Structure 1
Amino acid sequence: MLPHALRAASASFLMSIGLLALQGSKAFAESIPSAAGVGAAATPVSASRDLQLEVFINGTSTDLIAAFRQDADGILAIEPDQLRNVGIEPGEEAMRPDGLIDIAKLPLVSFEFDETAQIIHFTVEYDARSARVIDAHERAQDDTSTADPQSSLGALVTYTLFASTGGGGIDDMWAFDGASGWFEGRVFSPFGVLASSYIANSSPDEPYGSTRLDTTWSYSNPKWLTTVRAGDVITGGLSWTRPTRLGGVQIQRNFGLRPDLVTMPLPELSGSAAVPSTVDIYVNNAQRLSEEVPTGPFQITNLPVVTGSGTARVVVRDALGRETVSETPFFASSDLLASGFWDYSAEAGFARRFYGVESGDYDGRLMASGTLRYGVTDWLTLEGHAEGGAELINGGAGAVFGLGPYGVGSFAASASSYGGQTGFQVAAGVELQLWGMHFFARTQRTFGDYNDIAAVTVDPLPPLLPDDDFHSAAPPRALDQVSVSVPLRFDPSTLNFSYTQLKTDEGEKSRILGLSLNRPFGNSASFFATAFTDLEDEDSFGAFAGVSIPLGNDIYASTGVSSDSEGTAVTADLVKSEGNEIGSVGWRLRDTEGAYTDRAVSASYRAPFARFEAGIQQHEDQFRATAQADGSVVFAGSDVFFSNRIDDAFTVVDAGVPDIDVQYENRPAGRTNRRGKLLVPDLRSYEPNRITIDPTNLPIDATVAGTREVTVPADRSGTVVKFDVEAGAQNALVTLRDEGGEFLETGAAGQVEGGASEGFVVGYEGQAFITGLGPQNRIVVDQPTRGRCAAEFGFEPREGEQVAIPDAVCRPVE
């Protein structure tokens, strides 16, 4: 296997492409500080100097301070970006050789410079105004959204255990039928994550069996937006390619490392305000932004929207409440990349075969694959894909293009050569939203002997029957898909139509037609009906219709009638949904009568350390009982924890003392154990997660540096959040007086001599909270008007009590 691994690494290295983006630094005008600055006195100009001036336009403050350069001859100049940022378009005729704008040469602009007040007043005609740019996505982010991700050293095992009993009669219901388990082990550190998963099973015919699924090491670099993997990987792909499992290496763009990054084109809105106004932006009747704007044009960029079609409404409201409303339709698609964005994936390795059946069956031929996407403009994204190895060469290119506010379209073509066989493939698709109707269509055709990695590396299973042939893994000869969703104008119902036509490489054909109807009624109830048929097989059809009614407290009742080639049956369901909170209970009752009998009852419970589910089922004459447990065992923070299943990130809160309430995003997360720790699962990787503790239950003699921390865990990793609670701390509340019996001055600052504690400040009535005390202490205090003094006092800690030292005398010192 070592030569295979070396060849895979070498091929991946040759395929990797370094993508560097250089971003020039830009200076922008800054908001005015809350406190007014001191005006500069007028001084003669003997040399050029830099000025920071508050900017007024047409008599109104922009609330911005811009940097100007004043030459020795008094000419004022400014950088183009700063001028545009305050609301004035930098004209080319005013551009100087040094790249600055001479404001005296700006067309349609005049100004007055108040040197004493450090203010510049511009009078600007409308055509000379630049649009005030408001980044809506930036407004939604906080200061910690781009914090560096963290990962501690630790490990966890996530498991799903399942067991069943049953047989051909009620007397056999408790006979052992089988047991299985799914396990995934992860070891995480700042150097990446090593994960391995497998399944194990036992049955009356086979006491023990196991199969390895995936073993992969991965490392992600948020600065490069890149993830590197080694082991079992899945090749990157496009809508017209087929991803393949490989045993090898992979380097891949991962936009998920920056949740704050917007990668798809978003609608841009613009408008104008005649007077200072408030702009409210609504997307599909939901408010997304409210911003104050000065007079003049404005532009809203990076507006947060969901994919698909919608309408953005801009409401400009002045101080008198007068409104101007405009609406703009849009269509957002994640298939398009914003202008200038790259997306790529490169892999090399050996094709995995019989995944889930065999633990380590890999084809012996080295294969490689590469995928690339680039946003040329906001409405055009180019795509490319190539793969090959062992006589296989496959490559193609395509494009995804916007169709204005109505939808997106795509087209791609590729060709292959393998062992003297050649073939071609073309694919096209369109997605539209017109008159409230959603339309999707896609077609794909192959010609000749078209092959890819999946087709040439498959090891076909022998036929199950003597008359059967080997099944080909080549791409289908034809694949057509059409779907239409139409909300009815005369009724609140929605009608959905779908059609799929598939022709395999062997010539087998399917034409599946589907139809569904959904209609809400009452407060939350709904009626639904579906039907399907295969036009190539008259025995393949089915229909189902029913109603669903919520009963409150997460309980739903539904009933329906189904019909297929086996007959007609009636089903009734009563379900209580299980929540995500600890202690949540769920259950289900189901009964089907008619063409066949199927009865079942099940219940689930979410405990702090695992989730449990059990059920009993009767299907015709077969009786069965099942039980399942899901959870995780975590080794982190020098401790062991049992938890519900953890699929992403988590943190271990180390408060230092037991029975401290912990909140995650202002929701109760639990209470620390006797070692002062708590596992908080279900964190969002690469996003800021806020953890707080409630100091109410802290011992009276405990100190804590802070009660709020923000952690940004890496992918599928864990962090440790320490609050540095110190119980039994050496601190006391000391009342300080001078020799005359007067309290020391409020605001006086002090320090314990010879100690490592932080300084303290004297509060009202001479009280100071002083930490880092010993049996005998000497403190020095600097008073604002009375000078320096020193006090000496003893200290004896008392467990569970706040030590108070009254009337410590502070005597003057030099």
Structure 2
Amino acid sequence: MQVRRRHRVFPSRLCPLCVVALSLVVAETSRAAAPGSAQVEFNDAFLRQPGGSSLDVTRFNQGNVPLPGTYHADLQVNGVWLGMAEIDMRQSGADARNVQACFDRALLERAGVDITRLAAESADRLARAANAECLHLGDLIPGATAAFDNGEQRLDLSVPQSFLNRSARGYVDPRYWDDGVNAARLQYNASVYHADSGGVSSTQGFLGLNAGVNVGAWRFRHYGSLSHDAVSGNRYQSVQTSLQRSITTLRSQLVIGDAFTDGAMFDSFGFRGVQLATDDRMLPESQRGYAPTIHGIANSNARVQVRQNGNIIYETTVSPGPFEIDDLYATGYGGDLEVLVTEADGSVRASLVPYAPVVNALRPGLWRYSVTSGQYRNSGVHGTPYFMQATVQHGISNLVTGYGGLLAAQDYISLVLGMALNTSYGAFGADITHASTRLSSQPDRSGQSLRVSYSKQLAPTRTNLTLAAYRYSTSGFLNFADAVAIRSVDTAMNDSLPGGIRRGRLQLTVSQSLPTGYGNLYLSGSTQDYWNRGGRDTQFQAGYNNSYKRLSYGVSAARQINLGSGRWENRVMLTLGVPLGKSPLAPYSMTSMQKDSHGVTSIQESLTGALGPDNNFTYGLNAGHSSGGGSSSSSVAANAGYISPVATLSANAGTGNNYSQLGAGISGGIVAYAGGVTFMPVLGDTVAIVEAADAAGARVANANGLRLDPWGHAVVPNLMPFSRNQIEIDPKDLPFNVELRSTMQQVAPTSGAVVRVRFDTGNGGRVAILRVRTADGKPLPFGAEVFDIDGHLAGTVGQDGRLFARGLRQEAGVLTAKWGAQGADTCSFPYVLPAPADSRRAGMPFADSVCGDRASTVETAGASPGMHKENEDDVVR
């Protein structure tokens, strides 16, 4: 027997105090009166009617007790959700209202109970229990309780910690990870950018694709980009094509095809082959790492590209002023990020963001490994040697982690050994790498590279020193990528890398929270020198941010290289932001002043805001002026964005003294599966397809502007793999005849999964408002429950005998009202609904009926003349 929940509904604006009183009775008893708990009696004084009898509320004394049956419900233990489970609810004893959950070994293990810790008597009962026997949680575990929330369809367990398996915060048992359904998916990001500068016109186009197919636990993925310009024409770059799946028992990912090595010990590089590596995302959330955040400054509507190992991994258009990118997909543990900012006038600036691992410390007992074999892959060089790489890390104790690795290829071998110390003074790491390279027309090279790193959060000063690392390499040391590059151009006339052979490199990332009210500081940067050329390359981004009441202000500085001139530039910027109004949709003004190392000073004023019920329309206006260096210029620009139900649209335009530019873009995703094809404005790697029949237009709370399409489908983007994700639907604007059995579910998908989340909706009948009176002309008692001919609850009587009846499955029938235990406390009355075409929300059926006098039938042929819009608003779901 499958039991589903039905919400009770009450007319409102009909004696608000009475509605509150009765609602509190039902709500509090649903929460407090668990099955088997002591009976609670409620004072019915609030529900007495002038000159009438009181309402019988004894049926609420033990809460909203469920009916016996099997429920597919949420399982929550000590306040932590553990997923969905089949719950067997049975009547205990002769009392029909004493319905409790039955427990077997499978359900106890599902709840995280350590069976070995049960008392001998409880374990014996559990082993001998037959299907006909219902074992209660309290009988098996002293002090444990189980309460079924019939309204939320949730079983709440309270279990002493001594009987539970130990697990970290955020832990989800791998048995309940969801591989999702078979599906095909496509994520796209297309843009066109046109600029006229100094009489030269250029148009650039970009199309980024992330296509894939899911079959069971297997994921086929292809990442690529198509770019176009007048010089190079069309150019398609395949970033990554692979077949992969999660290996749960090994806490690992198997990848076949194009991917990247992890960079934890050796520098990260691309390959084509096979990789089996630990996936830290399978660890509880409290044990996972981090991804870098990119800060920068733009002078106009600029294109920002992020490259790693020569591949474009991110591209977007930003407005003038400071920007931040904090949603990068991780493509490996290492490999510096090259950030290219292309301004509207064609100038390009580049900077490097260090992307290296934190100190390689692991928790005691944990292992991390990676085994990769295949062919080296880099579009910038001709050499593609075969290689094999293996790394391993092990947390030996709270203090010590040991690690090592081997990288071997034709004419190249490299070994690394290291140790990480986790101390009260911070995490220290030190390793040494030896590499030997054989060259055909030059002397062989052999050398070592020593790396020392440090990571610490300084609690007294609230300083977060994310990573400080120094690497020193001897002149004969070459990492694998450099060795391949040299071998590809190996001649007597060319014996070194064009960019230089690195000698020493220092990198630092710091964030500092100041005392309350004083803001925060951040700094990231690196400096390095070379064996075969002079000079030192230094780049950094630093800033200070704070706010005062509704004002925000900050100062930032950066050192970057201008690719057009080849010169390093230093920039400093002051910013001031203030909202122009108090409403959530009020425009926001940002003023910034910038000065660079060439004496050019510029000032920018921008105005941004959002419109629409879901903030799905955004806009921005910008104006700027710069002077210095013997010239001056002014510019204006505008941009707009719209998140539609099927795609995200954007447009931008700007003009200045010597240039003008136009741009437009569209991005979104498509998912095809057995249930149909769904379009969405945003698509991530791990997603959920929400299905709620007849609930078209309902808002999905997980993403801005996300609503169910006309077929009741929506895709929730960017779920956290191997973690709990809450999916929620807002039923605010649903038609009266659609009822959600629940508005929230939770899922724990595997990486790249397309999970299917079904919300049960009740569209089992029509709705009507009836004003019902007894045969002597008095209104039915407030709070009386009304049932249809099959015994299903149709509604509850409100003030003045008004009834909001729903779930009417027949065009004509008889309803029965009951408000007490005596035979005189019940009566029946007929109803006749109008044609469905005439029964819309704007004209809900409304009529008067007489209860107990069948001769006075009043047909509800249409909306009553007295039925106004406010009658509809009187209904509270």
TM-score when normalising by structure 2: 0.54
Deviation at 1:631, TM superposition (A): 0.9
Q: What is the distance in 2 between the residues matched to 1:749 and 1:558? A: 66
Match for residue 273 of structure 2? 248
Structure 1: where are the runs of 5+ without partners? Answer: 1-32, 38-117, 120-130, 265-332, 736-742, 753-758, 779-783, 810-814
Q: Which residue among 626, 636, 640 is the counterpart of 2:672? A: 636
1:715 aligns with 2:746: no
Q: 1:430-450 deviations in whole A, cap 9, x for unaligned?
A: 345667377765322233633
1:146/1:525 Cα in 2 relative to 1: closer, same or farther (>3 Å)? farther
- 1:690 aligned residue: 726
State the SS of the aligned residue for 1:196.
Answer: strand
Residue 500 of structure 2 contacts residue 533 of structure 2 at CA under 8 Å; is this kept in 1?
A: no
Matching residue of 1:345 = 370
Please say if residues 219 and 244 of structure 2, whose CA atoms lie closer than 8 Å, have aligned partners that are also in contact: yes
Letter matched to residue 424 of structure 1: Q
SS state of the match for residue 338, structure 1?
A: coil
CA contact (8 A) 2:519 2:547 kept: no
Deviation of 1:335 (Å): 4.5
Change beyond 3 A, Cα 1:527–1:648 = same
SS at match of 1:377: coil
1:192 to 212, 218, 221: 218
- The 8 Å contact of residues 411 and 437 in structure 2, kept in 1 or not, is answered as yes
Amino acid at match of 2:485: V
Q: Does 1:225 align with 2:263?
A: no
- Note if 1:159 corresponds to 2:188: yes
1:429 paired residue number: 453
In the TM superposition, residue 252 of structure 1 has moved relative to its aligned partner by 1.5
1-side partners of 2:794 and 2:696: how far apart? 32
Q: Which residue of 1 aligns with 2:654?
A: 616
Is residue 701–residue 730 contact of structure 2 (8 Å, CA) maintained in 1?
Answer: no
Distance 1:415 1:142, change over 3 A: closer
1:320 alignment partner in structure 2: none
C-alpha distance in structure 2 between counterparts of 1:445 and 1:192, whole Å:
42
Pairwise mapping of residues 4-15 of structure 1 onto structure 2 (< 5 A)? none
- Give the Cα separation in 2 of the matches to 1:709 and 1:797: 37
Pair 1:570 & 2:601 matched? yes
Call closer, same or farther: CA 1:689–1:669 in 2, change over 3 Å. Answer: farther
* 1:657 equivalent among 694, 698, 714: 694
Please list, as runs of the form range in 1=range in 2, the aligned pairs for 1:494-513 lying within 5 A after superposition: 501-510=527-536, 512=538
CA-CA distance at 1:559 after TM superposition? 0.7
Aligned: 1:375 with 2:395? yes
Could you tell me whether the CA contact under 8 Å between 1:649 and 1:685 is conserved in 2?
A: yes
**2:628 is aligned with what amino acid?**
G
Is contact 1:591-1:598 (8 Å) kept? yes
Q: CA deviation at 1:696?
A: 5.7
Counterpart-to-counterpart distance in 2, 1:769 and 1:138: 48
The answer on whether the counterparts of 2:178 and 2:753 sit within 8 Å (CA) in structure 1 is no
Q: CA offset at residue 352 of structure 1?
A: 0.4
Cα deviation code 1:552-579 (max 9, x no counterpart): 143311112222xxx3101112234577
Instruction: Report if aligned partners of 2:452, 2:470 keep a CA contact under 8 Å in 1.
Output: yes
- Seen in structure 2, the aligned counterparts of structure 1 residues 572 and 705 have a Cα distance that, compared at 3 Å, is same
CA contact (8 A) 2:252 2:279 kept: yes
Q: Which residue does the alignment assign to 1:210?
A: 236
Tell me the CA shift for residue 657 of structure 1: 1.6
Quick check: 1:248–1:347 contact (8 Å CA) kept in 2? yes
8 Å contact from structure 1 (residues 631, 646) kept in 2: no
- Quick check: 1:184–1:197 contact (8 Å CA) kept in 2? yes
Secondary structure class of the residue paired with 1:445 = strand
User: Which residues of 2 match residues 794-813 of structure 1 at below 5 A?
Assistant: 799=836
How big is each residue's C-alpha offset from its partner over 1:694-724, in whole Å with a ceiling of 9 and x where there is no partner? 5565555556543333333443443333224
Residue 509 of structure 1, CA deviation: 4.2
* 1:408 pairs with one of 427, 436, 441: 427
1:594 to partner: Cα distance: 1.7
Are residues 243 and 528 of structure 1, via their aligned partners in 2, closer, same or farther at CA, if it must alter by over 3 Å?
same
Indicate the SS of the match to 1:458.
helix
Shift, 1:498, TM fit: 8.3
| SS class of match (1:568) | coil
Query: Residues 254-653 of structure 1: matches in 2 within 5 Å?
Result: 254-262=279-287, 335-354=360-379, 363=384, 365-404=385-424, 406-419=425-438, 421-431=445-455, 436=461, 441-447=468-474, 449-458=476-485, 471=497, 476-481=502-507, 501-510=527-536, 512=538, 518=544, 520=546, 522-523=548-549, 524-526=551-553, 528=555, 530=557, 542-552=569-579, 553-563=587-597, 567-576=598-607, 581-595=615-629, 597=632, 599-607=634-642, 608=644, 609-618=647-656, 621=658, 623-636=659-672, 638-653=675-690
Q: Relative to structure 1, is the Cα distance of residues 384 and 641 closer, same or farther in structure 2, using a 3 angstrom cutoff?
A: same
Between the aligned partners of 1:349 and 1:150, the Cα distance in structure 2 is 28
- Quote the residue 1:324 is aligned against: none
Q: Which whole-Å CA distance do the structure 2 matches of 1:507 and 1:377 have between them?
A: 44
Contact 1:472 1:506 (8 Å CA) reproduced: no
CA distance change for structure 1 residues 475 and 384 in 2, over 3 Å: closer, same or farther? farther
CA contact (8 A) 1:263 1:337 kept: no
Counterpart Cα distance in 1 of 2:409 and 2:168: 49
Q: 3-state DSSP class of the match of 1:477?
A: strand
Q: How does 1:32-181 map to 2 (within 5 A)?
A: 147-169=176-198, 175=201, 177-181=203-207
User: Partners of 2:368 and 2:247 in 1: how far apart?
Assistant: 15
Aligned counterparts of 2:172 and 2:454: Cα–Cα separation in 1: 40
Decide whether aligned partners of structure 1 residues 340 and 462 sit closer, same or farther in structure 2, where only a CA change above 3 A counts.
closer
Letter in 2 for 1:569: V
Change (3 A) 1:657 1:260: same
CA contact (8 A) 2:501 2:532 kept: no
Is the 1:700–1:802 contact (alpha carbons within 8 Å) kept by the matching residues of 2? Answer: no
Give the share of equivalent positions with the same residue, in percent.
14
Q: Deviations over 1:623-669 (max 9, x none)?
A: 2413131412313354444433423333333222254423325x775
After superposition, the Cα gap between the structure-2 partners of 1:561 and 1:761, relative to the gap in structure 1 and judged at 3 Å, is closer
C-alpha deviations, 1:45-86, integer Å up to 9, x for none? xxxxxxxxxxxxxxxxxxxxxxxxxxxxxxxxxxxxxxxxxx
Where 1:151 maps in the other structure, the secondary structure is: coil
Amino acid at match of 1:674: P
Query: Match for residue 330 of structure 1?
Result: none
RMSD: 5.7
In 1: Cα distance, 2:170 partner to 2:794 partner: 39
Distance in 2 of aligned mates of 1:520 and 1:776: 67
Which string of whole-angstrom CA distances, capped at 9 and with x for unpartnered residues, describes residues 461-499 of structure 1? 879xx998752689623224467888999x969888888
The residue type equivalent to 1:651 in the other structure is A
In the alignment of these two chains, the number of paired residues is: 586
Residue 251 of structure 1, CA deviation: 1.3
Of Structure 1 and Structure 2, the greater strand share is in: 1
CA pair 487-794 structure 1, distance change in 2 beyond 3 A: closer
Query: Gaps spanning 5+ residues in structure 2: where?
Result: 1-33, 39-141, 144-159, 290-357, 439-443, 580-586, 773-780, 798-802, 815-820, 854-877
User: Closer, same or farther in 2 for the Cα pair 1:395/1:34, shift >3 Å?
Assistant: farther
Work out the CA distance in 2 between the residues paired with 1:413 and 1:693: 54
Q: For residues 669 and 361 of structure 2, what CA distance do their matches in structure 1 show?
A: 41
Compared CA separation, residues 526 and 707, structure 1 to 2 (3 A): closer
AA in 1 matched with 2:648: A
Q: Distance in 1 between matches of 2:416 and 2:718?
A: 40
Asked whether the 8 Å contact 1:161–1:629 carries over to 2, the reply is: yes
1: CA distance between counterparts of 2:480 and 2:568? 35
More relative contact order in 1 or in 2 (CA 8 Å, sep 6+)? 2
TM-score (norm 1): 0.58
1:557–1:376 Cα change, 3 Å = same
Query: What does residue 67 of structure 1 align with?
Result: none
Q: Is the 8 A contact 1:649 1:682 kept in 2?
A: yes
- Counterpart of 1:707, as a letter, is T
Aligned position for 2:94:
none
